[in-house]
Amino acid sequence: MESARDRKIREAREFFSRINTRGSLFIGISGSVSYEPKDNDDIDIFLIAKTNRLWISILEFLLFRRIYRFDDMCLSLCMDDSYAVSYFTHLSDGLAVKDSIKVVPIYGEQYFNALIRRSSLIVKRLNEERQVNDRNIDVKGSTLNPLEFLAFVFTASWINLKAIVVSKLNPQRGEGMFNTVFSLHNCYFDTEKYRTLNERYLKNEVLTE
């Protein structure tokens, strides 16, 4: 019998096989599905786009998710290549280190494996020596085109408005508050739930040292 985790991973692979991923460098599954999910858990997607191609990729995802009715899929963490290199180089969040190792790759696994090894904390956790070639990967730049800027203005405004409405409903459901953090190069939800989990994780790490 297919487990909830295997079913959700299969659904994510099926969705991304239907859409064009030309603007993406990496697509993976994070959150509860990368561990042991419940049947009603969302499929959290971790997206890394090419530099200055993030918001077009987000807009395409949102449109095709609606068209194909993959309603339980959500973009939990999005960034472009330029932001991702800096993010993993300076990664200090204990739970983010653990979650990065658990991510289930859908597309761009080789790129992601090289990228996360820029983090000394991840390398340490993997009990590996630093790999110089991985840490020196180049950021492939591109100019910001007008379509990307328009996609940013429209999509970021819509996501932020929706997040404000949903966040006000969450306390009634016991799910906690959250804020949308975004720029031209990244987009994610800063949730009260995640901050609480990270604090617990760090405390457990200290106790086990």
User: pLDDT per residue over 37-50, tens digit each?
Assistant: 999 999 999 999 99
**Tokens representing 94?**
């204990």
Q: How high is the pLDDT of residue 134?
A: 47
Six-digit token string for 186: 């990244």
Q: Which CATH number characterizes residue 114's domain?
A: 3.30.460.10
pLDDT the model gives residue 162: 83
Which pLDDT belongs to residue 136? 53
Give the whole-angstrom CA distance, residue 116 versus residue 84. 9
Give me the pLDDT at residue 53, please.
94
29 — phi, psi (to 5°)?
-105, 125
pLDDT for 206: 47
Residues of the chain with pLDDT below 70 are 127-141, 167-178, 193-195, 197-209
Return the closest-CA partner of residue 115 out of 128, 96, 133, 127. 133
Q: How far is C-alpha 138 from the chain's CA centre?
A: 21
Domain carrying residue 68: 4-208
- Asked if 55 and 184 touch (Cβ cutoff 8 Å), the reply is yes
At 97, give phi and psi (nearest 5°).
Answer: -65, -50
Number of domains in the chain: 1
Distance CA 153, CA 172 (A): 30
